[in-house]
Amino acid sequence: GVAVIDFGSQYTQLIARRVREQGVYAEVFAHDADADHINQHQPAAYILSGGPNSVYENGAPQAAPHILKSEKPILGICYGMQALTYALGGQVAPSQAREYGPATITHTPASPLLDNLDTNLQVWMSHGDRIEQPPAGFVPLAQSENSPYAAIGDLERNIYGVQFHPEVSHTPQGSAVLHNFLFKIAHLTAKWTPLAVIENAIEAIRAQVGDEKVILGLSGGVDSAVAGTLIHRAIGDQLTSIFVNTGFLRKNEPESVLAVFRDEMGMNVIYNNATERFLDALQGKTEPEQKRKIIGNEFIEVFKEEANALEGVRFLAQGTIYPDVIESASGSKTAHVIKSHHNVGGLPEQLGFELVEPLRDLFKDEVRKVGTALGLPDHIVWRQPFPGPGLAIRCLGDLTWDRLETLREADAIFLEELEKAGLLVGDTAQCFAVLLPVKAVGVMGDLRTYEEVIALRAVQTQDFMTADWVRLPYDLLAQVSSHIVNKVKGVNRVVYDVTSKPPGTIEWE
Ligand code: XMP
């Protein structure tokens, strides 16, 4: 596969994903990862990512000598190109005009890198420095208004650099550039397919687990669903899944999870309906962080009790995916672990089991493809992310069974209407209802009502760090509102949340 060397660009993961989309395995390594660590993975080519530094700065990350001497094809992107240039004896300097955003480059037909592309190419630039003098052996392959060396290459040694970002969607022919590098320059073959991933994973699971027993916390989410199905394929009834109903799941969710995994997939699923227990623990609690803590602890307790009731279990399976591990797996000596996302509904490491993590190498879109290839239904594979504490953090105020049911009904109506309108997949990243602890006056028939308020939330996002509210059609909102007020008891008013993140968060608590 390809080793993607991370110089700190926000697009590094995207490079790896784009390469994998072409059917070639790619893995991310920190720029200062040990040569041995990288070489264990036997990279057939290197891509050096962009990054925020200037190559001359004190402590700026450099292209590692072992990569330069590897005699494998190398592609440097933006900072990666500058690092190559600097390391190989060329000159880099601050550009008079910084280039951010769209640009047009003109390329010469001489190189396989830009083969079969428009002569005038739309690209995305984002750099302050530029190449003044390429290293010996390199020829210019493309120029832009601001860079005489928008792309360079040493055609003998198969080392290339591009000043623009082929990995982003704003470079429309970017995947063709990567395609050329992978197949015309590095002569790789496309072998990274869902079926190959499944085969490898099954082999690895069998090798790790032998004839020992494995447990898995099934949540209904994509990751645990795909991990569970894969492991079940590999070791059958040696796997037991534990599905805890917190009482905070969406309408029909427990039934649907059991129908898929127990009935369709034939998996061994222990179902624990802990609704009352969770409600008891949360009685009188309204503070969001406190609610999260109580739910998290309670979940671990219930899971532990079920796990301990099973005998001779050695392994715990988890649906950890590649973006979760990229920081630590990349082998950096300097990078800090940035991740500190909420992990309510997760399990602590010290439960005393060895971990089985069959999705550790996969991006989310690959997890979905594997899920589909394993025969999981779309409603599982394309399920929206759902927070561990579930409806508990969408039911503001007193957490009672009745209010949860009210929320569940309203939420189901919202989702149903979105689905009918074809807006559930792709267009929205997350959508849900929130029950507010606020009463409003209304009139129905000739009667005055005094009931609670439902807020609807629908957001679009790439990474859940920032998000924008979806401009849902007014007619759809009208339809949802009238359905909810007419059908859901206890609600007489519906509002739509028009707050982006930041300053709002996606959830209300
Ligand atoms: P916020 O509300 O922080 O949410 O903008 C960002 C994403 O994280 C999800 N989320 C959680 N997921 N446990 C989880 O597993 C939690 O406690 C939790 N809180 C929020 C949220 O649904 C959104 O996708």
CB contact at 8 A, 216 and 181: no
Q: Is pLDDT at 341 greater than 70 in this prediction?
A: no
Q: Is pLDDT at 327 greater than 80 in this prediction?
A: no
Q: Are residues 363 and 444 in the same domain?
A: no
* C-alpha radius of gyration, the chain, whole number: 26
Q: Is residue 503 part of a domain?
A: no
CB contact at 8 A, 420 and 476: no
Distance of CA 160 to the CA centre of its chain: 29
pLDDT in tens, 390-401: 999 999 999 999
Q: Is residue 36 part of a domain?
A: yes
Cα(508)–Cα(279) distance, integer angstroms:
20
Q: Closest Cα to residue 229, out of 97, 122, 368?
A: 368
Q: Are residues 376 and 292 in the same domain?
A: yes
Cα(90)–Cα(133) distance, integer angstroms:
5
Domain boundary among 147, 165, 185: 185
Atom 20 in ligand 1: residue holding the nearest Cα: 387
Cα(116)–Cα(250) distance, integer angstroms:
50
Q: Are residues 211 and 356 in the same domain?
A: yes
Interface predicted TM-score (ipTM) of this complex, two decimals = 0.98
Is 452 assigned a catalytic role? Answer: no
pLDDT in tens, 35-83: 999 999 999 999 999 999 999 899 999 999 999 999 999 999 999 999 9
Q: Is pLDDT at 146 greater than 90 in this prediction?
A: no
Any atom of ligand 1 within 6 Å of the Cβ of 342: yes
Please give the share of the chain, as a percent, with pLDDT higher than 90.
86
Q: Are residues 200 and 248 in the same domain?
A: yes
Q: Are residues 372 and 417 in the same domain?
A: no
Cβ neighbours for 438, distance < 8 A, ≥ 6 positions apart: 452, 453
Q: Are residues 296 and 180 in the same domain?
A: no
Q: What is the CATH number of the domain that holds 485?
A: 3.30.300.10
Domain boundary among 141, 167, 185: 185
Q: Is residue 130 part of a domain?
A: yes
Domain boundary among 156, 185, 214: 185
Average pLDDT over residues 318-323: 91
Q: Are residues 141 and 251 in the same domain?
A: no
Q: What is the CATH number of the domain that holds 234?
A: 3.40.50.620
Q: Are residues 291 and 266 in the same domain?
A: yes
H or E element in which residue 271 lies: strand 268-273
CB contact at 8 A, 3 and 46: yes
Residue bearing tokens 């079940």: 232
Q: Are residues 323 and 427 in the same domain?
A: no
CB contact at 8 A, 88 and 76: no
Q: Is residue 386 part of a domain?
A: no
- The pLDDT assigned to 337 comes to 38
CB contact at 8 A, 430 and 385: yes
Instruction: Tell me 389's DSSP state.
Output: T
Q: Is residue 466 part of a domain?
A: yes
- The pLDDT assigned to 338 comes to 34
Residue 260 CA to ligand 1 center (angstroms) comes to 25
Q: Is pLDDT at 493 greater than 60 in this prediction?
A: yes
- The pLDDT assigned to 154 comes to 97
Cα(80)–Cα(51) distance, integer angstroms:
7
Question: How many CB atoms neighbour CB 314 within 10 A?
Answer: 15
Cβ neighbours for 25, distance < 8 A, ≥ 6 positions apart: 1, 2, 19, 191, 192
Of 396, 434, 506, the residue with max ligand 1 atoms within 8 A of its CB, to mutate for a pocket test, comes to 506
Is 78 assigned a catalytic role? Answer: yes
Domain containing 83: what range?
2-185
Residue bearing tokens 């007020």: 485
Residue 342 CA to ligand 1 center (angstroms) comes to 6
Say which of 167, 298, 409, 417 is annotated catalytic.
Answer: 167
Residue 465's pLDDT band (cuts 50, 70, 90): confident
Segment of 169-173, 320-324, 444-448, 454-458 carrying the highest mean pLDDT: 454-458
- The pLDDT assigned to 339 comes to 33
- The pLDDT assigned to 109 comes to 78
H or E element in which residue 231 lies: helix 222-235
- The pLDDT assigned to 350 comes to 75
Any atom of ligand 1 within 6 Å of the Cβ of 430: yes
Q: Is residue 501 part of a domain?
A: no
Average pLDDT over residues 190-207: 97
Strand ranges inside 88-190, DSSP E: 91-107, 120-133, 139-143, 151-154, 159-162
Higher-scoring residue by pLDDT: 431, 351 = 431
500: left (phi over 0), alpha (psi -120 to 50) or beta: beta
Q: Is pLDDT at 409 greater than 70 in this prediction?
A: yes
Q: Are residues 144 and 282 in the same domain?
A: no
Average pLDDT over residues 454-480: 94
Distance of CA 19 to the CA centre of its chain: 16
Q: Is residue 131 part of a domain?
A: yes
Q: Are residues 198 and 181 in the same domain?
A: no
Residue 336's pLDDT band (cuts 50, 70, 90): very low
Q: Is residue 509 part of a domain?
A: no
- The pLDDT assigned to 95 comes to 80
Mean pLDDT, the chain, integer: 93
Residue 332's pLDDT band (cuts 50, 70, 90): low
- The pLDDT assigned to 99 comes to 82
Say which of 165, 306, 409, 417 is annotated catalytic.
Answer: 165
Residue 326 CA to ligand 1 center (angstroms) comes to 20
- The pLDDT assigned to 246 comes to 97
pLDDT in tens, 368-381: 999 999 999 999 99
Cα(267)–Cα(216) distance, integer angstroms:
11
Q: Are residues 207 and 344 in the same domain?
A: yes
Q: Of the given ranges (286-290, 345-349, 432-436, 476-480), which has the lowest mean pLDDT?
A: 345-349
Is 167 assigned a catalytic role? Answer: yes
Strand ranges inside 348-429, DSSP E: 354-356
pLDDT in tens, 217-275: 999 899 999 999 999 999 999 999 999 999 999 999 999 999 999 999 999 999 999 99
Domain count for the chain, please give it.
Answer: 3
Amino acid letter, 348: P
Q: Of the given ranges (125-129, 212-216, 436-440), which has the lowest mean pLDDT?
A: 125-129
pLDDT in tens, 418-458: 999 988 866 679 999 999 999 999 999 899 999 999 999 99
Cα(39)–Cα(24) distance, integer angstroms:
17
pTM equals: 0.87
Higher-scoring residue by pLDDT: 326, 362 = 362
CB contact at 8 A, 359 and 321: yes
Q: What is the CATH number of the domain that holds 46?
A: 3.40.50.880
Amino acid letter, 417: E
Atom of ligand 1 minimally distant from the CA of 386: 22
Average pLDDT over residues 133-162: 95
Amino acid letter, 316: L
In Å, what is the CA distance from 89 to each residue of 55, 130, 164, 269, 291? Answer: 12, 14, 21, 62, 59
- The pLDDT assigned to 96 comes to 77
